[in-house]
């Protein structure tokens, strides 16, 4: 374990901040540097092990990603699954090409801009809209992985579900995080008959830590996928079950037809990349806002400070927070599904970044950050900002195989347990609540408004970083809803600028500003900096910031892996 993190935690513990003790205990279980040449890091040890075994059989990073996602669907159902969507960055070492795969969910044909409005015309609350059928988008992760496997898979598709099938049938031990969340969300989970039968005993008590959970229905789904390919998910009994569950939901029933499922198409898009110091940082383009916004933050930081930033200092936190506020302000107006909205990629124009950077003062926080006017702007200046809240959820995993292929994939069903509806042994997403609940405000439309066939804006931000020679050196990403962007940006700055080891950067106390005030992670040494940050003009909130960063650093002679100690992830390599 790094002396950097030990020193921070020692300081925190002397002033009574106990969260560091939990993080330190988890860090003692993790090994950061490994002399491996192939590696997986994911949010649950069973998923990590499944991906590792695929690599040991000679599978590609893409093959391992399919195994990891299949097992995560089973053992981390609160965060991601086959009933949701994902974004995947994939470096093909053979062709030296970076691919960006969009497996984001789409709104069914029945979706209308007023989907989340009450009869009064006022927006529903987020909590009221999440549970049930109305929030479910057409799942995209299976189709996306199938498309990517056709281009980058080495092993037979049918062989990649073996671990998930075995664990579904034999059962797995319920983890502390899963047990805690089942108990926390018991009232709404119990309102869904299939979900209630799965997570609760006959007497109504929730499954406890260490108890065995079996899922024969999911095993059957996986066997259908193994033999029938992705088509078995989007047509036939599985598609019919998804459609039926959405349409007959006991809460917020909606219409999702089997035609909606059969018509889903994953997309390959052009990655977005930008320079940061001597590196080239590449990420997913819209419909996720994560990539563009992370790159804006990095470019703004570099435009203001030519010197590398030191992790965990008042000066660094202030500068990064100011850059985040500007980037999040642009995000609220401009970023949405590019198949429906003309997204101005001038947001990453160096001249525009320079103009925005001029708004940052090193001695004072700005009072309010407004969106800028990027070059080549078309009709988007007439849009109002999207202000709907976002819940924290999602998962991320990073994989490097022996041939040098790299996968950085963020996957989600959105809220904890998604819509809380189950079909085929897996939970269905609630990603449609990532749309703006208001289609317009004060006569101006909102770019991220609901529309049939549209992909809701996301915050997911899988990243791959390249050195000056064009060689990949880092794969990283995180869960966390709208906070994902800040988590990933801070980690990149701490690694690339601050020189932290990978495990230190992944475990470091978190801070971010999404435009609603500066959040500091509760129970960490950063709390002691709050008074100085407030004197600079920041409104500081001390709160839980449960990132879930999973990263791999690629050195010339070894791999360095890290898993966020705030969650249950592990690293495995060979």
Selection from 199, 180, 178 nearest residue 78 by Cα = 178
Q: What DSSP line would sit under 309-328, residue for residue?
A: PPTT-HHHHHHHHHHHHHHH
Task: Give the Cα separation of 474 and 407 in Å (integer).
Answer: 10
The answer to whether residue 31 is catalytic is no
**H-only helix segments in 57-212:** 61-75, 126-130, 141-152, 162-170, 176-184, 186-189, 193-199
Task: Give the Cα separation of 543 and 552 in Å (integer).
Answer: 28
Q: β-strands 97-103, 570-573: how paired? A: unpaired
Helix, strand, or coil (residue 295): helix
Do residues 197 and 214 lie in contact, with contact meaning Cβ atoms separated by under 8 Å? no
Catalytic residue from among 41, 48, 73, 394? 394
Tell me which DSSP letter residue 566 carries.
T
Write the burial class of residue 397 (CB in 10 Å: 0-12 exposed, 13-18 middle, 19+ buried). buried
Torsion angle (degrees, nearest 10) of CA 503, 509, 515, 516: 140
Torsion angle (degrees, nearest 10) of CA 190, 191, 194, 196: 0
Q: Determine if residue 163 is left, alpha or beta; phi over 0 gives left, psi from -120 to 50 gives alpha, anything else beta.
A: alpha
Q: What DSSP line would sit under 437-467, residue for residue?
A: S-SEETTEEBTTB--TTPPPPB----EEEE-
Structure tokens given for 541: 């909130």
Selection from 231, 238, 137 nearest residue 453 by Cα = 137
**What positions carry a catalytic annotation?**
394
């Amino acid at each position: 374990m790094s002396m950097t993190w030990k020193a921070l935690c020692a300081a925190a513990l002397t002033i009574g901040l106990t969260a560091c003790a939990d993080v330190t205990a988890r860090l003692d279980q993790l090994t950061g540097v490994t002399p491996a040449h192939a590696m997986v890091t994911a949010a649950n040890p069973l998923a990590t092990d499944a991906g590792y075994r695929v690599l040991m059989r000679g599978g590609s990073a893409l093959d391992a990603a399919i195994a990891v996602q299949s097992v995560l669907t089973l053992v981390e159902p609160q965060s991601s699954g086959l009933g949701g969507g994902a974004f995947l960055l994939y470096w093909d070492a053979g062709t030296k090409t970076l691919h960006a795969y969009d497996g984001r969910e789409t709104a069914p044909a029945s979706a209308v801009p007023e989907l989340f409005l009450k009869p009064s015309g006022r927006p529903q609350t987020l909590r009221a809209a999440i549970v049930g059928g109305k929030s479910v988008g057409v799942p995209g992760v299976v189709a996306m992985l199938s498309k990517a496997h056709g281009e980058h898979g080495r092993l037979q598709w049918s062989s990649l579900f073996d671990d998930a099938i075995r664990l579904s049938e034999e059962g797995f031990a319920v983890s502390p995080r899963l047990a805690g969340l089942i108990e926390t969300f018991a009232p709404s989970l119990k309102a869904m008959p299939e979900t209630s039968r799965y997570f609760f005993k006959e007497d109504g008590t929730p499954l406890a830590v260490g108890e065995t959970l079996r899922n024969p229905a999911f095993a059957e789904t996986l066997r259908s996928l193994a033999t029938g390919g992705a088509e078995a998910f989007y047509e036939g009994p599985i598609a019919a079950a998804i459609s039926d569950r959405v349409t007959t939901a006991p809460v917020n029933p909606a219409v999702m037809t089997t035609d909606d499922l059969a018509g889903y198409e994953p997309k390959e898009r052009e990655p977005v990349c930008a320079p940061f110091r001597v590196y080239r940082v590449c990420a997913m383009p819209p419909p996720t806002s994560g990539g563009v916004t992370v790159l804006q933050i990095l470019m703004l930081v570099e435009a203001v400070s030519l010197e590398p930033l030191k992790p965990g200092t008042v000066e660094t936190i202030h500068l990064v927070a100011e850059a985040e506020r500007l980037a999040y302000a642009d995000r609220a107006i401009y970023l949405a599904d590019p198949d429906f909205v003309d997204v101005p990629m001038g947001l990453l124009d160096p001249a525009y970044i320079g103009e925005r950077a001029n708004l940052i003062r090193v001695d004072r926080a700005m009072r309010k950050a407004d969106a800028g006017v990027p070059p080549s702007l078309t009709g988007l200046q007439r849009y109002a900002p999207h202000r709907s809240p976002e819940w924290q959820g999602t998962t991320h995993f990073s994989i490097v195989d022996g041939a040098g292929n790299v996968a950085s994939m963020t996957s989600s069903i959105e809220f904890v347990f998604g819509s809380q509806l189950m079909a085929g042994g897996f939970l269905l997403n609630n990603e449609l609540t990532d749309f703006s609940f208001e289609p317009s405000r004060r006569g101006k439309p909102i770019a991220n408004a609901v529309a049939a066939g549209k992909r809701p804006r996301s915050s997911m931000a899988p990243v791959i970083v390249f050195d000056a020679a064009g060689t990949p050196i880092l794969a990283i990403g995180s869960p966390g809803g709208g906070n994902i962007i800040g988590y990933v940006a801070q980690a990149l700055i701490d690694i690339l600028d601050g020189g932290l080891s990978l495990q230190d950067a992944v475990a470091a106390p978190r801070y971010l500003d999404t435009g609603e005030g500066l959040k500091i992670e509760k129970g960490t040494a950063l709390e002691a900096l709050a008074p100085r940050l407030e004197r600079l003009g920041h409104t500081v909130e001390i709160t839980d910031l449960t990132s879930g960063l999973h990263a791999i650093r690629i050195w010339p002679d070894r791999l360095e892996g890290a898993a966020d100690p705030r969650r249950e992830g592990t690293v495995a390599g060979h």
